[in-house]
Amino acid sequence: MIIFLEHTRNTPDEVRLELDFGEQGTFDYTVPAIKFLDYSVEELCNRRMVILLPLYLLRLRREIMRAKEKNTLREKADALKALIDTILKAIADNEKAGNITNKDTVELMHMMSHLYEYLYGNIKEFDEEEVSNMLAGALELPCDAAFEAEQKKGRLEEKKQIARNLKRKGILSIDDIVETTGLSLKEVKEA
């Protein structure tokens, strides 16, 4: 499929490609097109297109550009907040459902944050309306949880390495290694 992130009335429903295979000839290949912004967040989730959710920030881009020209940006702040909230909720729901991992969630939120900064980061009215704070607050929890999980995994691996070294040197008994490292008996035996 070809995904058109933004489209107009002239955007086709399918794209015809001409593939040239040299001596074997030229073949026409028709590829269906998806008009991304025609789908709701729920439809994207149902189609397992969760990875594209951060790009849904494009939904209001044209309206916001028009509002910028008319100097009515404050009116769009609430719509953008609602859109961000919808996207964040969909990402969280997909993690809870097991469709994506916590790491995926963190990556999607970072992508969303970067895209927000690129599209709307220089709009002072949105800063004044604290739109960007929604993303900053949402990023704190998953990033902190992912960071803590990585730290815990690293500490566990470090303790296992110490246990391996102590076992290899034969200086301490298994029970002493358990006491020294804080690992369980099973973890020390498996190290």
Residue 141 has pLDDT above 70, yes or no: no
Percent of the chain with pLDDT over 70: 92
Residues 64, 119: Cα–Cα separation, whole Å: 10
45 vs 154 pLDDT, higher one: 45
Pairing of strands 2-4, 14-20: unpaired
The pLDDT value given to residue 148: 66
CB-CB contact of 84 with 131 (8 Å): yes
pTM of the shown model: 0.65
Average pLDDT over residues 61-73: 90
Q: Read off the pLDDT band of 133 (50, 70, 90).
A: confident
